[in-house]
Structure 1
Amino acid sequence: MESSKEHTEFIESLKKAFPKENWPLHKKALWWIARGDWNRAHNIAQDLDTPLGSWIHAYLHRLEGDRFNAGYWYRLAKKPYPEESLEKEFEFMLIELL
Structure 2
Amino acid sequence: MTYEQFLASIQPEGDLPPSLSPELESLWHAKAGHWHAAHEIAQDIPSKTGSRIHGLLHAIEGDFGNSAYWYHRAEAPSIRGQDIDQEWETLVRSLLKS
Matched residues in 2 for 1:12 and 1:80: separation? 29
TM-score by length of 1: 0.85
Structure 2: stretches of 5+ with no match in the other structure:
none
Q: Are residue 25 (structure 1) and residue 19 (structure 2) matched?
A: no
| Matched-pair contact (CA < 8 Å) for 2:59–2:79 | no
How many residue pairs match? The answer is 94
Q: Is 1:50 matched up with 2:47?
A: yes
Q: What is the TM-score when the length of structure 2 is the normalising length?
A: 0.85
Counterpart of 1:28 in 2: which secondary structure? helix
1:79 aligned residue: 76
Match of 2:31 among 19, 31, 34: 34
Structure 1 residues not aligned, in runs of 5+: none
Q: Give the aligned partner of residue 7 of structure 1.
A: 3
What corresponds to 2:57 in structure 1?
Answer: 60
RMSD: 1.7
Query: Which deviates further from its counterpart, 71-80 or 85-94?
Result: 85-94
